[in-house]
Amino acid sequence: MRHGGPLLLRVGYCGRLVVHFSQSSRVGGAGLLALVATYGIGRLAYGLFVPRFREEFGLPLDVLGFFASAAQAGYLVATVVTGVLTARFGPRVPVVAGCLLLAVGAALTASAPGPMLLAVGLVAAGTSAGGTWAPFSDAVAHQVPSSGSRRALALVNDGAPVGLVVASVLVLVAGDRWRAVWWAFALIGLVAAAVAYRVLAPGRVGPAPDRARPGPGWFLPPRSLRLFVVAVGISITSGAYFAYAPDTAQGAGLASWIGPAMWVTLGLAGAAVGAFGGGIASRFGLRGPLVLMLVLVGGSTLVLLVAPGIVVVALGSAAVFGVGFTTGFALIVIWSQQVFHDRPTTGFTLAIVAIAAGFIVGPSLFGVLATRVGGDVALLAAATPALLVALVPPSRDDRHDPHDP
């Protein structure tokens, strides 16, 4: 069996068909499921439920915004703690803990009788993503042969858009029964925890890590500064898009179903192309594809300036954004693996902090500008960071020359 291939079928004793998944499929699939639960559902699906929370609990938008900010703060704290836990115990502990936290947070949200327990559940669900993304850098580095590592990382990154599709479909099917949707989220978290426990190796694997504490020069060499600048730029634009794109379309006259429909389109398009992020880097290198994805992210935001009240335009914008967002972040993960190859989780934790900072700035930037100078200017300003950082190339050591198509 070739370790880089997705799976192998053979007929075993008694005529049974036995399916053997490669390590890249096993680890990448476990990561995809973990991110479906914690990132796509726990972190990105919140906006789908804001109208329900306002109606049922009588909460104003500023309070709901505080809930979202608290979840973001929890995500940042969890990301830092995860770096420590992964270095000490390996990726299984933080990933399983993150999935279980999503299950607990979703269950609390589903059963919340009032705003207080609702807030606890939402913050727990949003925090859970901090435990799952970065550890898969270590899991892939230590459990997957190098020939399949890019494919595994791309699969992991596909969890965010797939999670959005799952959440959006459940919302559309459930209608007013939003609590049933959150119970389904809790079940998904439990399944993801069980799969991660089964697939990820217990404790640290591979060579013993260097226990010496890295100096400041390790964290911020010129190579990583370029990575962080690009990560912040794409995240500012992405944060604004996730917060306001459906509202922009609905405000232009489209029906309330446009939000879930845009997120389904975004997730399907993103997952369809993002799964090939590793193959794209192998065939075309890192620099060219990353520039294209940054342009798609910025351009999809500018498309909403044209005619946001037309269904085809709104859905087309979501599809283009989904491709740029998912594949762009897959390429950033690969870039981070190269910059911080000796401590992949520690390095990627820093990248995630930069990404989280962009997701904080983006919605605030858009909201302030939309209130003071208008939505068109806000959309233009939100699109600009992703387009500007397209001018920041990876260093020559990180350009990922095409090979192994």
Buried b or exposed e, range 129-168, using 16+ CB within 10 angstroms:
bbbbbbbbbbbbbbbbeeebbbbbbbbbbbbbbbbbbbbb
Low-confidence ranges of the chain (pLDDT < 70): 1-21, 61-62, 65, 203-222, 275, 342-346, 395-405
3-state helix, strand, coil in the chain (%, to 5): 75, 0, 20
Cα distance between residue 180 and residue 199, in whole Å: 29
Angle at 106 between CA 102 and CA 112, to 5 degrees: 145
Buried b or exposed e, range 254-281, using 16+ CB within 10 angstroms:
beeebbbbbbbbbbbbbbebbbbbbebb
Res 8: pLDDT: 45
Instruction: Reduce the secondary structure of 116-184 to three states and give it as a string.
Output: HHHHHHHHHHHHHHHHCCCHHHHHHHHHCCHHHHHHHHHHHHCHHHHHHHHHHHHHHHHCCCHHHHHHH
Residues 229-277 pLDDT 10s: 999 999 999 988 887 888 788 888 888 788 889 989 998 898 888 767 7
Domains of the chain with bracketed CATH:
1-204 (1.20.1250.20), 216-405 (1.20.1250.20)
3-class SS of residue 20 = strand
Closest C-alpha to 98, from 75, 117, 121: 75
Sequence length of the chain is: 405
Cα distance between residue 389 and residue 234, in whole Å: 8
Asked if 38 and 189 count as a contact pair (C-beta separation under 8 A), the reply is: yes
Task: Give the pTM.
Answer: 0.75
Res 402: pLDDT: 52
Res 306: pLDDT: 84
Asked if 303 and 279 count as a contact pair (C-beta separation under 8 A), the reply is: no
Residues 307-335 pLDDT 10s: 888 999 999 999 999 999 989 988 888 88
Cα distance between residue 92 and residue 27, in whole Å: 11
What angle do the packed helices 311-339 and 344-372 form, to 10 degrees? 150
